[in-house]
Amino acid sequence: CFKSSSLNDFMRQGASVWRETRKRLTDLLQEGCSQDLREDSALVGRALIPLSSVTMHLPAVIGDYTDFFSSRSHAENCGLIIRGSAALNPNWLRLPVCYHGRASSVYPSGTAVVRPRGQMHIDKKDPAKGSLYGDTKRLDFELEMGVFVGGPPTSPGSTITMEEVEDRIFGLVVMNDWSARDIQAWEYVPLGPFGAK
């Protein structure tokens, strides 16, 4: 599965395979452990590539993702930006507030961000005036943590218990999430953001 351009096949193998692979890699790379790699200079040349020669790629083909609205201070700040009030909606403290994201907008580090274009209020105080189309004037960046979920696929209607969660977390990434707040303010009612995220 490592000849593929992504880690998706490996991610489907499950936690026991991930742990065994990590253990073997640690054994190969940790000083004082296995000599298998150190004793084969040709293999070292193929296996270990200088960071300056590496091009970053996404580790997996991302078919779907969910963005959780889980930080209280972030939820209050967004309320101020979009609604003019830091008051949390009543459901925020009682259920995971999230939205379905567009996987096509996930890129690796170094990719230029194109300023989003979309519809926004002409006059936020009077929505009856309609909208105009143009470049966002309120582009916001957020530092977020992404979680890659792996393991065998689940069937429709099945759930993963809290006890199983740790065996489904393949890895974590730090990411920038951008939001076009003026476009989001226009489009998020009633169904949530689309072009703004």
| Catalytic positions | 74
User: Is residue 63 within 8 Å of 100, Cβ to Cβ?
Assistant: no
Largest CA distance in the chain: 74
Give the span between the Cα atoms of 92 and 85, in whole angstroms. Answer: 14
- Let me know the angle formed at the C-alpha of 115 by 114 and 121, rounded to the nearest 5 degrees: 150
How many whole angstroms from its chain centre is CA 102?
10
